Amino acid sequence: MTDLPNFSASRINLYRTCARMYRYQYVDEVPGNTHAYTVMGSALHSAIENYYLHEKNPAGTFSARFNEGVGQAMDRAQLVGTHLVSKAAVLGQEILANIKWWEIRPTDIEVGFSLPFPTKNPRVLMRGFIDMITEEEWVIDHKSTSKKPTKAALAVNPQLIIYCWAYREVRGHLPTAVYWHHLRTQEMLEAEVLVDFEDKLRNLEEELVRILEDKEYPKIERGYFCNTLCAHTDRCWPQHDYGNTLIDEGAIARLWK
C-alpha cells in the first residue's frame, strides 16, 4: 500500500471550496498563501498540545510559534492579512486565557494516523491528526474560526467522519462522542457524525472517487474568496475581472484551523 497517494480531509474541504484551487495546490503543486488567522490557529494547537503533554506555559508557546509562523510566511512573501497580525496575536492569547484547562481530561493528544482509505479497495493513504481523545473516548477537534458551523454541517463534516473512521481502524470501535471545540467561545459543539455513520462514510468514499477522477477542476465564480484569500487569482482571472459575486463564508472558514 506504500504506493498509494497521500490524502487528507482538508483536501476534501478545499475541493468543496474551489476545485480549481485544489488543482493548483495538490495537482500542480503551486505554492499558496498563509492567512494570519491560519498561523494563529496552528500556534493555538501547539500551545494546547504542549500544555497537556509537557505542562509548558501556553502563552509562551503560542507567542513563539505565532511569531515563527508569521516570519516564515513573510519570508516566502505568502502572508495574507498582514494588517491582522497584531489582532490575531492578541486574540490567540485571549483564547488561551479563557480555556478551562481542568475541564478536559485527555488521554491522547495530536494522534497521528496514516491509513489506506477506503478500508476495502483503498485509493489513497489517508493522513491526519486527531487533536484530542479523552478518558470518555470522546474525539475533540479544536477550531479557531470566527463562525460556528450549523448542527447539520457538523453532522456531515468530512474531517470528523475521517477521524471516527481512523479511530475505529486503530482501536476497533467508534468513539463514544465527537465534539467540535470552538476556541473563541469555548463551546463544545457535539457533532452527530455517528448517526448513520456507515452511510456518511460511504458517501465520503464516493466523493473521494469523484475528486480523484476529476479532470476539469471547475473554478468558482469570482468573489470575496478569490479577491482576498486565494493565491491563484491571476491564474483563474487573467483579465482582472473583479466581480462582486460572494460565496458562502463558511467555505472560507473551513480553510482556517
Tens of pLDDT, residue by residue over 179-198, are 999 999 999 999 999 999 99
Sign of CA dihedral 133, 134, 138, 142: negative
Percent pLDDT > 90 in the chain is 78
DSSP category for residue 25: I
214 alpha-carbon distance from chain centroid: 22
Determine how many CB atoms are found less than 10 A away from the CB of residue 224: 14
Distance CA 134, CA 152 (A): 24
Q: In this structure, are residues 181 and 140 in contact, taking their beta carbons and an 8 Å threshold?
A: yes
Distance CA 208, CA 188 (A): 29
- Tell me what pLDDT residue 2 has: 66
Scanning the structure block, which residue is given the C-alpha cell 494516523? 113
CA dihedral 133, 156, 149, 14 (to 10 degrees): 90
Confidence of residue 24 (pLDDT cuts 50, 70, 90): very high
Helix, strand, coil percentages (3-state) for the chain, rounded to 5, are: 50, 20, 35
- Tell me what pLDDT residue 249 has: 40
Residue pLDDT, tens place only, 75-86: 988 888 899 999
- Tell me what pLDDT residue 80 has: 86
What would the mean pLDDT of 14-30 be, rounded to a whole number? 93
For the entire predicted model, the pTM comes to 0.88
Q: In this structure, are residues 183 and 140 in contact, taking their beta carbons and an 8 Å threshold?
A: no
208 alpha-carbon distance from chain centroid: 17
Residue 246 has pLDDT above 50, yes or no: no
- Tell me what pLDDT residue 256 has: 44
Residue 240 has pLDDT above 70, yes or no: no
Confidence of residue 242 (pLDDT cuts 50, 70, 90): very low
Confidence of residue 235 (pLDDT cuts 50, 70, 90): confident
Q: In this structure, are residues 45 and 183 in contact, taking their beta carbons and an 8 Å threshold?
A: no
Percent pLDDT > 70 in the chain is 92
Residue 248 has pLDDT above 70, yes or no: no
Residue pLDDT, tens place only, 157-175: 999 999 999 999 999 999 9
> Domains of the chain, with CATH numbers?
11-99+219-253 (no CATH), 105-212 (3.90.320.10)
* Lowest pLDDT segment from 55-59, 209-213, 224-228: 224-228
DSSP annotation string for 114-137: EEEESSSS--EEEEEEEEEEETT-
Q: What is the mean pLDDT of the chain?
A: 90
Q: In this structure, are residues 176 and 137 in contact, taking their beta carbons and an 8 Å threshold?
A: yes
Amino acid at 82: T
Sign of CA dihedral 31, 242, 35, 130: negative
- Tell me what pLDDT residue 215 has: 95
147 alpha-carbon distance from chain centroid: 14
Phi, psi dihedrals of residue 239, rounded to the nearest 5°: -90, 5
Residue pLDDT, tens place only, 116-169: 999 999 999 999 999 999 999 999 999 999 999 999 999 999 999 999 999 999
Q: In this structure, are residues 118 and 75 in contact, taking their beta carbons and an 8 Å threshold?
A: no
Residue 251 has pLDDT above 90, yes or no: no
Confidence of residue 239 (pLDDT cuts 50, 70, 90): low
Q: Which three cell numbers stand for residue 202?
A: 460511504
